[in-house]
Amino acid sequence: MSEVQGAASAADAETLEAGSGQNYTRNHPYSSTVVLNYLMTGSDSEKETRHLAFSLEQGMMYTPGDAIGVLPENRAESVAEVLEALGFTGDERVLDHYKVEISFEEALRNRLSIGKLARGSVGLYAKLPEAKNCGGKGFDALNALCGPANKTLADEYCWGREFIDLLHDFPGVVKEPQQLFHVLQRLVPRLYSISSSQMVHPDTAETTVRVIRYESHGRERQGVASGQLGERAEVGTKLPVFLHSNQNFRLPEDNSLPVIMVGPGTGVAPFRAFLEHREAIGATGHNWLFFGDQRRNSDFLYEDQFLALQHDGILTRLDTAFSRDQAHKIYVQDRMREHSTELYAWLERGAYFYICGDATRMAKSVEEALLDAIAKGKNGTLDEASEYLAAMKKQHRYQRDVY
């Protein structure tokens, strides 16, 4: 899972559990060493995608489909900017969420979310006692961003902004460092799909991360966790991590059954793990991967490995869709429609179907293409295809890891 793609929402991250038999959790992470961190995308790519491997302590176990949780830190520059805007040194003492006394600098570094601005934080900021006397744009402008009636305006304001922007626009509100624990969200772990099989990589958990960088409101921005992994996680760096079990994204117990995997972009991560695992255990079931991205020359993640697996007969079918390589954009769902007859034949043979990646557009489009293939294969209606898919879900043959 990439940070923006989601590896997990803040709400999900609040309830993370360790994998089976693990003692490490988000509240008690393992201090892992980064043993691999390299750029996967080409120089002409519009994306920055990296492959990372984290060391594991003996006894830490994961299964293909699981995720690794990374506890990020805010950038030192961002922390310094907030301290300067607030007029604090960072040496002030505060109580964290568990009533442990720490420095305000540490709180801003790894306890509080000072990155992407949340609408709820704006409302809580406006409720602080000194908000009515704020400078900059003034209290009327701040109050206009609060309440259910102003949700749309508040969302527009928050888009592309961080806490530092709120401090600059409406200064003089925070008088005590402790107040920020009532305003800002907790800095939560980011979950990334594990892209390795432990049978092949016994001492590491590997993952595929898109580093988020963008410019908004005149400032250069980056994802909190992905930016850290892209810039401040060189080989040898120690990072707090834990394993997260995902029981709803699992290979079939019967290794003779075929699997169909749809994973554009970093959504391909768990399917690299699936394929490594199926090869390692000698699974006889056929494997079909749909992968898509912008350009083949710069964005074909794990190209050499997938082509080798295809050459060796492990990857039975590999269909790719590179949207920017031709005038008319082609996506994974288009490839599915091109091969709908064979796709349905695989389903009739008991194939498990998996989707990983963006929930907003891709997953919906892929499901629509799947329903079309089923309807066409059955020579039936979309309602009948929906019933077929519902039966697959009950049999756990249709699984999604989307964000």
- Integer-rounded Cα Rg, in Å, for the chain is 23
Q: Are 265 and 300 in contact (CB under 8 A)?
A: no
In sequence order, what are the residues at sequence separation of 6 or more whose Cβ sits closer than 8 angstroms to the Cβ of residue 103?
Answer: 90, 91, 92, 93, 94
Model pLDDT for residues 111-123, shown as the tens digit of each residue:
999 999 999 999 9
pLDDT at 37: 98
DSSP of 249-304: S---SSTTS-EEEE--GGGGHHHHHHHHHHHHHT--S-EEEEEEES-HHHH-TTHH
Side-chain-facing half-sphere of 27: CA atoms under 13 Å = 7
Which residue(s) pair with 238 in the sheet?
A: 33
- State the CATH architecture for 259-402: 3-Layer(aba) Sandwich (3.40)
With a cut of 70, which residues of the chain have pLDDT below it? 1-22
Structure-derived torsion over alpha carbons of residues 29, 32, 36, 39, reported in degrees to the nearest 10: 40
E strand or H helix that includes residue 335: helix 332-338
* Integer Cα distance of 2 and 321 in angstroms: 20
pLDDT at 23: 85
* CA nearest to 18, candidates 73, 74, 59: 59
DSSP character for 209?
A: E
Which residue(s) pair with 222 in the sheet?
A: 213
Model pLDDT for residues 317-355, shown as the tens digit of each residue:
999 999 999 999 999 999 999 999 999 999 999 999 999
Cα torsion angle, 159, 165, 171, 176, sign: positive
Q: Which amino acid is at 245?
A: S
Q: Are 37 and 224 in contact (CB under 8 A)?
A: no
Neighbouring CB atoms inside 10 A of 25's CB total 17
Model pLDDT for residues 147-184, shown as the tens digit of each residue:
999 999 999 999 999 999 999 999 999 999 999 999 99
* Integer Cα distance of 116 and 205 in angstroms: 28
Q: CA 220: distance to chain centroid?
A: 21
* CA nearest to 135, candidates 194, 85, 88: 85
pLDDT at 41: 98
pLDDT at 6: 38
pTM: 0.92
- Cα separation of the two ends of the chain: 8
- State the CATH architecture for 3-72+188-244: Beta Barrel (2.40)
DSSP character for 171?
A: -
Model pLDDT for residues 47-64, shown as the tens digit of each residue:
999 999 999 999 999 999
* Integer Cα distance of 3 and 48 in angstroms: 12
* Integer Cα distance of 18 and 25 in angstroms: 5
Q: Which tokens in the block code for residue 242?
A: 């834990």
Where do we find the tokens 């710069």?
298
pLDDT at 22: 58
Alpha helices (H) in 151-223, listed in sequence order: 151-158, 163-169
* CA nearest to 208, candidates 74, 331, 302: 302
DSSP character for 48?
A: -
Domain residue extents for the chain: 3-72+188-244, 89-180, 259-402
